Chains A and B, each alone.
Chain A
Amino acid sequence: MKVIEANHLKKEYSTTCNTVKALDDVSITIQEGEFVAIVGSSGSGKTTLLNILGGLDIPTSGEVRVRGKEINKMNEEELTIFRRRNIGFVFQNYNLVPILNVLENVVLPLNLDGRPVDKKFIDKIIESLGLQSRLDHMPNMLSGGQQQRVAIARALSTKPAVILADEPTGNLDSKTGIEVIGLLKASASLFHQTIVIITHNEEIAQMADRIICIEDGRITGDQHEKQ
């Protein structure tokens, strides 16, 4: 089943004298349960692509479908709700809420959506990410690797259709980065989650089922692994 389908995406930024093409006719399809890494040098357009796939940015032309729904036709409010229910984000700088403890951070998206907290499911996520002894810790008491695991738990808590992660290991040393991705991969298969990560770390990209290379706004390689 296709979770994400993007067709002929273009994103241009115009200044008075020239136009910069951040994305130049990009089409990709991501299947349910895939673990995809997008790699490319900085300025290649990979973050723009991820933001457009997640509805954080609007393409100049082209369409994006998430679970069959065309997201660029939605208005701002619909999009916000759609994102909250279908997409989990993980950022390089974790973006945890500093005044909430670990558990409160993890269930925050559920509370925002007024959804009941499925205690059993949350316990399972917390256990799979090894956070059970840190539930009442505040984010500033945690190491980078621990904070990122909380952010992953938070992204998983709403059972989103897809998790998008922009340089999730960018602030971690390389060993910790590998361990966090190892955990992310294990929880992805445990919860049948689709994951797209951006990374410029070759070693981390190699842990994915599929590697998409992007250069100058175009896909230059797609090592497609059939499930």
Chain B
Amino acid sequence: MLRRNKELEGISAALERVFGGEKIEPAIALKDSLSGKIYHQIERISDTFTYREEALTRERDEIKELVSDIAHELRTPLTNIETYVQLLKDTDLTREQQKYLQAIMEAEQNIQFLTESFIKMARFEIQLIQIKKDSCDIESTILKSILQVKKKAEAKNITIALKIQKNDILHDKNWLGEVIVNLLDNSIKYSDSDAAIQIKAIENNMFSEIIVEDWGRGILPGEENLIFKRFYRGKNTKDTRGYGIGLYLSNKIIHLHDGFMKVKRKSRGMEMSIFLPNNKT
């Protein structure tokens, strides 16, 4: 009876491991008993499981790589278009021809942006991109991001205020910088001229929080979680250009930092928060 129980416990433990997606080690001695047979069957299930999962993962990654490759292959012809369009621009053109050329240039830039985004998205999903938490100086990362959007902000006479209450936040300076640029870019895009944007870095209980606050167009009630979905565009954004990629990618980058993002609608504008884990002490 005692031996029986022990065998059953062994089987339960093996099943638990299969369930957890782990490989189980083959039975040491082949026993010609019912429990021996069951153990063998579990091994078979485990093998089938592993095999199918591997096949699925492989297939999925191949598709994503394909997307990335296609996008990558588009880069060269796009650069060619850009060059020739530039050359064409320098020639004598009628007004009408200039208008058409301008349209081509804009379309080309859109394709270029989409291509780069697809490459990034695909690379994130096949985990080709690794987050390296290589900086603790959030102020410098934010300042660099502000510098990148300075031109756009100045064009609309938008002021950006920065308030650092907590500087020591571990992050990947390139990728987090990209997220902040993205948020600032959105805020500038959806704010009126002469508006203000505020960035804060504060420390909470478990997370540090980086907040980008604006007084722009904001989002509609009920869109708080939707705006992070791939290709979702806010109902308020219809007359501006965009693809619904920026926040999706940003959210992914923050996830890889073991953090999360959250938006808060205000009566005017919104508050976008990035939560990053506090440094372990």
Count contacts between A and B, CB distance < 8 Å. Answer: 58
* Bound CA span A220–B10, Å: 50
User: Would you call A97 an interface residue if the criterion is a C-beta within 8 Å of the partner chain's C-beta atoms?
Assistant: no
A126 to chain B, nearest CB (A): 13
Count B interface residues, CB 8 Å.
26
Chain A, interface size category, equals 20 to 34
Interface: B16 (CB within 8 A): yes
Q: Tell me the complex Cα distance, A159–B22, Å.
A: 15
Residues 19 to 40 of chain A near chain B (Cβ within 8 Å):
none
CB–CB B226/A225 < 8 A: yes
Q: How far is the CA of A179 from the CA of B12 in the complex (A)?
A: 36
Interface check A84, CB cutoff 8 A: no
Q: Is B165 an interface residue (CB 8 A)?
A: no
Does the CB pair A182–B260 fall under 8 Å? yes
CB distance from A180 to the nearest CB of B (A): 8
Query: Which residues in chain B, 20-59, are within 8 Å of chain A measured between CB atoms?
Result: 20
Q: Is the CB of A145 within 8 A of B205?
A: yes
Known: A116-B9, A145-B205, A206-B225. A182 touches B262 (CB 8 A): yes
B262 / chain A contacts, CB cutoff of 8 Å: 178, 182, 206-207
Tell whether, in the assembled complex, residue A225 and residue B264 are in contact, meaning their CB atoms are under 8 Å apart. Answer: no
A38 to chain B minimum Cβ distance, whole angstroms, is: 15
A118 surroundings in chain B (CB, below 8 A): 16-17, 20
Whether B19 pairs with A159 at a CB distance below 8 angstroms is: yes
Closest residue of chain B to A143, judged by CB? B205
User: Which chain B residues (215-248) contact chain A, with CB distance < 8 Å?
Assistant: 222, 224-226, 229
The answer, yes or no, to whether A130 is at the interface (CB within 8 Å) is yes
Residues of B close to A182: CB separation below 8 A: 207, 259-260, 262, 275
Bound Cα distance from A118 to B13, whole angstroms:
9
Q: State in angstroms the CA–CA spacing of A157 and B16 once bound together.
A: 12
- Cβ proximity bits A51-86 to B, threshold 8 Å, 1 near / 0 not: 000000000000000000000000000000000000
Q: Let me know if B269 is at the binding interface, CB within 8 A.
A: no
Nearest CB of A to B150, in Å: 31
CB-defined contacts of B206 to chain A, threshold 8 Å: 130, 145, 176, 179, 183
Measured in the bound complex, the distance between the Cα atoms of B222 and A207 in whole Å is 10
Task: Name the CB-closest residue of B to A127.
Answer: B258
Q: How far is the CA of A223 from the CA of B229 in the complex (A)?
A: 15
Closest chain A residue to B207, Cβ basis? A179
In the complex, chain A residues whose CB is within 8 Å of the CB of B229: 225
Chain B residues with CB under 8 A of A186: 255, 258, 260
Q: Is the CB of B16 within 8 A of A225?
A: no
Q: Is B94 among interface residues, defined by CB-CB distance under 8 A?
A: no
Are B204 and A175 neighbours in the complex by a CB distance under 8 Å? yes
A172 to B19, CA, bound (A): 35
Q: Verify if A8 is at the interface (C-beta below 8 Å from B).
A: no
Of A128, A175, A189, A206, most B-chain CB atoms within 10 Å: A206
Interface string of B257-281 (1 = CB under 8 A from A): 0111011100000000001010010
A152, B255: Cα distance in complex, Å: 19
User: A176–B260 contact, CB under 8 A?
Assistant: no
A185, B16: Cβ atoms closer than 8 Å: no
Given contacts A175-B205, A182-B275, contact A116 B225 (CB under 8 A): no
Contact A121 B20 (CB under 8 A): yes
A176 touches B225 (CB 8 A): no
A5 at the binding interface (Cβ < 8 Å): no
Q: Shortest distance in angstroms between A89's beta carbon and chain B's nearest beta carbon?
A: 21
Q: Which residues of A contact B275 (CB under 8 A)?
A: 178-179, 182
Pick the residue among A159, A189, A223 that contacts B222 (CB under 8 A).
Answer: A223
Contact A203 B264 (CB under 8 A): yes
Hey, which chain A residues are within 8 Å of B12, CB to CB? Answer: 115-116
- CB–CB B16/A116 < 8 A: yes
Bound complex: CA of A145 vs CA of B12, how far in Å?
Answer: 35
Min Cβ gap A190→B in Å is 10
Give the CA-CA distance A222 to B250 in the complex, in Å. 27
A-B contacts besides A116-B9, A189-B255, A225-B229, 16 pairs, CB < 8 Å: A115-B12, A118-B17, A118-B20, A128-B258, A130-B206, A133-B280, A145-B205, A159-B19, A175-B205, A178-B275, A179-B275, A203-B264, A206-B225, A207-B225, A208-B225, A211-B222
20 pairs, CB–CB < 8 Å, chain A vs chain B: A116-B9, A116-B12, A116-B13, A118-B16, A118-B17, A121-B20, A130-B206, A145-B206, A179-B205, A179-B207, A182-B207, A182-B262, A186-B258, A186-B260, A206-B224, A207-B224, A207-B262, A209-B225, A223-B222, A225-B229
